[in-house]
Amino acid sequence: MQLINLNTNFIGKNSYYYEKIDSTQSEIWRLYEKDAPSGTLVMANIQTNAHGTKGRIWYTDEENNIAFSFLIRMDCNIKKLDGLTLEIAQIIINIFKEVYNIEIFIKEPNDIVYKNKKIGGILTQTKIKGENVKALVVGIGINTSKTKFNKEIIDIATSIKKEFNIDINIEQFIEEFCIRFEKSILERINLK
């Protein structure tokens, strides 16, 4: 996967793509420990052990679904990130509305839903020292093409393909998200 139309200053300039990985979120933290630069982006086709919130599993066991995480190094008071997850969710639903004419919804604090079924989720994690955030890691998973749902989630999950019968260009979505999010985060914080 190549992001050829990624018009950002730093998000995604350093990127990794995996056909299969345990979790993009785990990988981005491993890269953080190896001093990966701010804006590093990890994308995957299949995740074998992806994370949801509250220790839940996020299933990315079929191809062509959105799964990516990114790292932003910073030095800012944690209060500057208030409402960030909700802002990320708003960016996601705006892209689907404006690019694909699809109306999906936010279930606060971090789910993307349609007809009360989960289509996607956002996992926001930080590394904090005192009152200041030193690193922000955001993971985003969206069921774009998923058709098989195991019994634990069959009644509570769905996908863009299942509900709207359209194909999402994953590269285009990630590029659009990174462009919009970078603008948004730069208005909030001092980058490191």
119-151 pLDDT tens trace: 999 999 999 999 899 999 999 999 998 877 777
| Type of residue numbered 168 | I
User: In the chain, what percentage of residues exceed pLDDT 90?
Assistant: 76
pLDDT tens for each residue of 51-110? 665 566 665 666 788 999 999 999 999 999 999 999 999 999 999 999 999 999 999 989
Domain at 15-186: CATH code: 3.30.930.10
Residue 49 has pLDDT above 90, yes or no: no
> Which residue bears the tokens 């769905």?
158
Q: Are the C-beta atoms of residues 146 and 62 closer than 8 Å to each other?
A: yes
